Structure 1
Amino acid sequence: MKKSDTFTRLAVRVMLILAAAGVIIPALPADIIKSQNYTLNIMPVAEDIDYAWGFDFLPDGQILLTQKNGRMFRIDTKTGSKTDIREVPFVAYRSQGGLLDVLVHPDFARNRVIFITYSEPVTEDSAQTAVMRAVLDRDRLTEKKCKTDGRALPEIYSYGHRNPQGMTVHPQTGEIWSAEHGAMGGDEINIIRAGVNYGWPVISYGLNYNGTKIGEGTEKTGIAQPLYYWDPSVAPSGMTFYSGRLFPEWKGNLLAGSLKFGLIIRLITDNGKISGEERLSLSQYGRIRDVKEAPDGSVMFITDQPDSALYRITPAKEKN
């Protein structure tokens, strides 16, 4: 870690301690980067997070955030302080498994419901994916419901997916968009429709890790083509459509994280198509795990590493 990074982290911790004591302190200077349309401020909101995986916003502006090791926090976005959420389900924390994403119900203010995905232990050496519905009672999960018997459900909507890492709903059309990892190349963006086969492992724009062809090539009758794909791979992660007021030039665009290169990729969308992209290089912060629009129109992202952090992006006022 560079000395400047170490100083910044130390300064943030000192400021949080002073803020908790009621001391009025000046704002910490933000990092500044350039994009095609804006000069951007990047400011840490919360640090000392161990492999962050997902986050979502509560109606009061606080954030629920998951760590892959099975911990969940409520984060105060004004101070960066973290409060543990109790009675989170036990997870199989190994390799890519653990506590994964969290979603706050749209009617949370009334029902207090959240949804979480995680790796459910089956035996000492095996696990399966689980989705749980729970009620957040202050800082404790209650009324937890989960189906883990492994049976196929009638709700299965589509198939032929490989390692989906991000999913979001288009704010106007209600369509579900997903980001999926290929093998060696062939990462995809897809619009998910009922009953559609998205190809894996029959077709792919990537190759096997030994360089050989996957399945039957890149096209086959009756199998959907990706809306957009990357070759070489970028390892896309969490994503969101931007609809806020702070970045009007980004309105309607899809913002996707990149684990491999530490990017936020702005995908320019038009009538259900992707016409181009801009890559915002944030590799100095680490692997980008998830990206979301905050209620105030800023953009927030988390990183995926032992010293993860939650960051906020806002427009900078350029000096004359």
Structure 2
Amino acid sequence: MKMILSVMWAFWAGFVGPQAHAQQTSAGSVSFSAQVDNLDAPWAFAFLPDGALLITERAGKLWHVSANGARTDVSGVPQIAANGQGGLLDITLPRDFADSRTVFLTYAKPQAKGGAGTALASGRLSPDGSALRDVQVLFEMKPGNRGGAHFGSRVVEATDGTLFVTMGERGQRPLAQDLAQHNGKIVRVMRDGSVPADNPFVGRSGALPEIWSLGHRNPQGAALDSAGRLWVVEHGAKGGDEVNLIVKGGNYGWPVISYGRHYSGARIGEGTHKEGMQQPAHYWDPSIAPSGAMFYDGTMFPEWQGDLFVGSLKFNYISRLRIKGGAAQEVEQIKSVQTARVRDIQTAPDGSIWFLAVADGTLYRMAR
């Protein structure tokens, strides 16, 4: 869950670009206004308590954007392997950021022999927002992965302060079922990178102790609901994009079960069900290429309270899903010129909804 802070953000509205554009939704007419533009393959963003923003670009830039729009290229970012889908990915601020100034980043880290793996790093943001200091790698995938596919990745702070990191299977499908590999897993670590003693595979012979769940293909969205449950959104192949409610030690099936098919049209694995493997809370067929996800907890749109919002990279809309128990149902598609390839989406402190559109490299604000 991205940190939400009690600050006034109304002055941001319409800061960049032309007059806001209106669109009809289930909540009535909403406006879309550009806040930050000219971004190069933006991946994630976070709100700072002083009204500023941090924005990642996949090639390795971390931008500090002040409340008046001034941009600073933040120094101290760890070395990035910008290859294919890999690069500088997610950014999350912990709940104690105002005191600790800690920033968490996920990224593709260069590894031996030209390989790269998803990694988690932390650093302290300088008071003026210009530098990350005391940067340290808290976790990285086991080396041995090449190519530019399926890094994931999101980092989410759990209610107990531990960190969940989502990772794709790096195009090596069978490894998503291998507990001796990090590919296709969600891991859970402490803020110092150590392994929590209550992780489900601690002490199991041959299993990596960081693993929290397995059988994931390429999870690029993750968020906590109001009950503190972790939900993850992941890419299928040709069909079979999934929303999953993550349970401790759960096996989510890839590549043994799936609601999609290989891009060749061939069947995947053994079908859609297998004993001991979790079913998705929702799936899309055809694929929408889902990315950033958040649970709406603002006040501007009370009719959307508790709903899950997911960006679509393929069909250029924001999916709104209603949650009931452990199931999710898509109840609305919010689509406009601005929702072209939505990569990240967050609730702003004033209750508006902000999202990164990759197609035009712009951070937008959706508001009443």
Q: What is the TM-score of this pair, normalised by structure 2?
A: 0.75
| Shift, 1:265, TM fit | 0.6
Matches of 1:128 and 1:198 in 2, distance apart? 21
- Equivalences for residues 291-306 of structure 1 within 5 A: 291-305=345-359
Matches of 2:56 and 2:329 in 1, distance apart? 33
- Residue 158 in 1 paired to residue 148 in 2? no
Q: Which amino acid aligns with 1:45?
A: Q
The 3 A distance-change label for structure 1 pair 149 and 239 is: closer
Matches of 1:163 and 1:255 in 2, distance apart? 18
Query: SS at 2:38's partner residue?
Result: strand
Query: SS at 2:349's partner residue?
Result: coil
1:218 aligned residue = 272
Q: 1:167 aligns with which of 222, 245, 249?
A: 222
- 1 or 2, which has the higher strand percentage? 1
2:136 aligned residue = 145
Aligned length: 288
- Equivalences for residues 4-19 of structure 1 within 5 A: none
Q: Which amino acid aligns with 2:135?
A: K
Matches of 1:181 and 1:158 in 2, distance apart? 16
- Asked if the contact 2:338–2:364 (Cα under 8 Å) also holds between the matched residues in 1, the reply is no
Q: Which amino acid aligns with 1:80?
A: G
| Shift, 1:134, TM fit | 1.1
| Shift, 1:272, TM fit | 3.6
Q: Deviations over 1:56-78 (max 9, x none)?
A: 111223211100010001123x4
| Shift, 1:98, TM fit | 0.5
Q: Which amino acid aligns with 1:216?
A: E
2:366 aligned residue = 313
- Asked if the contact 2:232–2:243 (Cα under 8 Å) also holds between the matched residues in 1, the reply is yes
| Shift, 1:271, TM fit | 3.1
| Shift, 1:133, TM fit | 1.3
- Residue 51 in 1 paired to residue 41 in 2? yes
Q: Deviations over 1:227-264 (max 9, x none)?
A: 10001101111011111111011111111100001111
The 3 A distance-change label for structure 1 pair 79 and 124 is: farther
1:269 aligned residue = 323
Report percent identity of matched pairs: 43
Query: SS at 2:211's partner residue?
Result: coil
2:309 aligned residue = 255
2:169 aligned residue = none
- Asked if the contact 2:352–2:365 (Cα under 8 Å) also holds between the matched residues in 1, the reply is yes
Q: Which amino acid aligns with 1:156?
A: I
Matches of 2:338 and 2:365 in 1, distance apart? 15
Runs (5+) with no aligned partner, structure 1: 1-14, 17-26, 316-320
Q: 1:42 aligns with which of 32, 46, 57?
A: 32
Matches of 1:149 and 1:225 in 2, distance apart? 26
Query: SS at 1:157's partner residue?
Result: strand
The 3 A distance-change label for structure 1 pair 34 and 212 is: same
The 3 A distance-change label for structure 1 pair 158 and 87 is: same
2:57 aligned residue = 67
Matches of 2:304 and 2:58 in 1, distance apart? 31
Query: SS at 2:37's partner residue?
Result: strand
1:82 aligned residue = 71
| Shift, 1:284, TM fit | 4.6
Query: SS at 1:262's partner residue?
Result: coil
Matches of 2:309 and 2:28 in 1, distance apart? 15
2:199 aligned residue = none
- Asked if the contact 1:263–1:283 (Cα under 8 Å) also holds between the matched residues in 2, the reply is no
Matches of 2:136 and 2:332 in 1, distance apart? 41
Q: Deviations over 1:90-139 (max 9, x none)?
A: 11112101100000111001111110000111146321111001111232
2:98 aligned residue = 109
Query: SS at 1:66's partner residue?
Result: strand
Greater Cα offset, 43-52 or 262-271: 262-271
Matches of 1:276 and 1:67 in 2, distance apart? 29
Matches of 2:276 and 2:217 in 1, distance apart? 18
Query: SS at 2:27's partner residue?
Result: coil
Q: Which amino acid aligns with 1:166?
A: G
Q: Which amino acid aligns with 1:74?
A: H
The 3 A distance-change label for structure 1 pair 35 and 84 is: same
Query: SS at 1:232's partner residue?
Result: coil
- Residue 195 in 1 paired to residue 256 in 2? no
Which structure has the larger Rg? 1
Q: 1:183 aligns with which of 219, 237, 249?
A: 237
- Root-mean-square deviation over aligned CA pairs: 1.7
The 3 A distance-change label for structure 1 pair 200 and 230 is: same
Runs (5+) with no aligned partner, structure 2: 1-14, 143-180, 183-207
- Equivalences for residues 12-27 of structure 1 within 5 A: none
Matches of 2:114 and 2:230 in 1, distance apart? 33
